[in-house]
Amino acid sequence: MGVRVGTLSHQAAQELGRRIVGGKYLPGDALPSEADLSAELEVSRTVVREALKVLAAKGLIHSRPRVGPMVQPRHAWERLDSDVLAWSTQDDKQLRVFLSQLTEVRRIVEPDAARLAAMRATPDELEQIAATFAAMEETVTDPNAFMTRDLAFHEAIIRASHNDLLLGLLLTVRKGLVASRQVTTGTLRQDTPETAHAREIALQLHRAVLDALRERDGQRAHEAMVHLLSTVHEAIGFMLDHERSDATR
Amino acid sequence: MGVRVGTLSHQAAQELGRRIVGGKYLPGDALPSEADLSAELEVSRTVVREALKVLAAKGLIHSRPRVGPMVQPRHAWERLDSDVLAWSTQDDKQLRVFLSQLTEVRRIVEPDAARLAAMRATPDELEQIAATFAAMEETVTDPNAFMTRDLAFHEAIIRASHNDLLLGLLLTVRKGLVASRQVTTGTLRQDTPETAHAREIALQLHRAVLDALRERDGQRAHEAMVHLLSTVHEAIGFMLDHERSDATR
DNA sequence: TGACATTAATTGTCATACAATATTATCATT
DNA sequence: AATGATAATATTGTATGACAATTAATGTCA
pLDDT tens profile A122-157: 999 999 999 999 999 999 888 778 888 988 999 999
pLDDT at A14 over 90: yes
Rounded to the nearest angstrom, the minimum Cα separation between A85 and chain B is: 10
Residue B121's pLDDT is 97
Which residues of chain B have a CB within 8 Å of the CB of A101?
A: 163-166
Query: Residue with CA nearest D11 C1'?
Result: B66
User: B29: which DSSP letter?
Assistant: P
Per-residue pLDDT, B91: 85
Residue B235 pLDDT > 50: yes
pLDDT tens figures, B22-75: 999 999 999 999 999 999 999 999 999 999 999 999 999 999 999 999 999 999
Listed as ranges, the nucleotides of chain D within 7 A of a protein C-beta are 9-17, 21-24
- C1' (D5) to CA (B227) span, angstroms: 73
Q: Specify the DSSP class assigned to residue B33.
A: P
What does the alpha-carbon distance between residue B172 and residue B57 come to, in Å, rounded to a whole number?
Answer: 16
Span A98-126, mean pLDDT?
A: 94
Question: Quick one: pLDDT band at residue B199, thresholds 50, 70, 90?
Answer: confident
Contact status of B112 with chain A (Cβ, < 8 Å): yes
Residue A147: predicted pLDDT: 82
Instruction: End-to-end CA distance of chain A: give it in Å, rounded.
Output: 32
A9 contact residues in B (CB cutoff 8 A): 53
The C-alpha atoms of residue B163 and residue B203 are separated, in whole angstroms, by: 26
Q: How far is B38 from chain A (nearest CA, A)?
A: 17
Which nucleotides of strand C lie within 7 A of protein CB?
8-16, 20-23
Residue B78 has pLDDT above 90, yes or no: yes
**pLDDT reported for residue A233:** 72
What is the model's pLDDT at position B180?
61
Among candidate residues A171, A154, A19, A116, the one with its CA nearest the CA of residue B169: A171
**Position with higher pLDDT, A233 vs A69:** A69
Which of A204-218, B7-21, B193-207 shows the lowest mean pLDDT across its residues?
A: B193-207
Rounded Cα distance, A195 and A192, in Å: 5
| Cβ pair A78:B82 closer than 8 A | yes
How confident is the prediction for chain A on average, in pLDDT?
A: 87
Shortest-distance nucleotide from A38 CA to C1'? D15
B238 has pLDDT over 60:
no
pLDDT surpassing 60 at residue B246: no
Nucleotide nearest to B56 (CA to C1'): D12
Q: Residue B53 and residue A56: Cβ atoms within 8 Å?
A: no
Q: What is the DSSP letter of A161?
A: T
**Model pLDDT for residues B115-155, shown as the tens digit of each residue:** 999 999 999 999 999 999 999 999 988 877 888 898 899 99
Q: What is the pLDDT, as a whole number, of residue B61?
A: 98
How far apart CA A133 and CA A203 sit, in angstroms, is 8
Beta-carbon count within 10 A of A243 CB: 10
- When CB atoms are compared, the residue of B13, B163, B244 closest to A162 is B244
User: Strand D contacts (CB < 7 A) among B residues 5-64?
Assistant: 33-35, 46, 49, 63-64
- Which residues in chain A (20-59) have CB-CB distances under 8 A to chain B? 46, 49-50, 53-54, 56-59
Residue A112 to residue B108, Cβ atoms within 8 A? yes
CA-based R_g, chain B, Å = 21
Q: In angstroms, what separates the C-alpha of A207 from chain B's closest C-alpha? A: 24
Looking at the predicted structure, is the pLDDT value of residue A241 above 50? Answer: no
pLDDT at B184: 45
Instruction: Tell me: pLDDT of B7 over 60.
Output: yes
Which of B 173-192 lie inside 8 A of A, CB atoms?
A: 173
Return the DSSP state at A188: S
* Residue A222 to residues A102, A107, A195, Cα–Cα distance (Å): 19, 11, 25
| Inter-chain touch B82–A59, beta carbons under 8 Å | yes
Cα(B6)–Cα(A56) distance, rounded to whole angstroms?
14
Q: Encode pLDDT of A44-99 as tens digits.
A: 999 999 999 999 999 999 999 999 999 999 999 999 999 999 999 888 888 888 88
The set of residues, in sequence order, having a beta carbon less than 8 Å from that of A151 and lying 6+ positions away, is: A174
Chain A residues with CB under 8 Å of B178 CB are none
Query: Whose C1' is closest to the CA of A12: which nucleotide?
Result: D14
Tell me: pLDDT of A3 over 80: no
Q: How confident is the model at residue B1 (pLDDT cuts 50, 70, 90)?
A: very low
Residue range B91-100, pLDDT digits in tens: 888 888 888 8
Interface of B with A in 116-175 (CB under 8 A): 116, 120, 125, 159-160, 162-169, 171-173
pLDDT the model gives residue B143 = 77
Res. A182 pLDDT band, cuts 50 70 90: low
The answer to whether the Cβ–Cβ distance between B245 and A53 falls below 8 Å is no
Instruction: Return the SS3 of A32.
Output: coil
Which region among A59-63, B16-20, B101-105 has the lowest average model confidence (pLDDT)?
B101-105
CB crowding B219-228: b at 16 or more within 10 Å, else e: ebbbbbbbeb
Tell me how far apart the alpha carbons of residues B233 and A235 are, in angstroms, rounded to a whole number. 38
The answer to whether B151 and A75 are in contact (CB under 8 A) is no
Calculate ∠ Cα B71-A127-A102, nearest 5°: 65
Nearest to A20 by CA among A81, A67, A70: A70
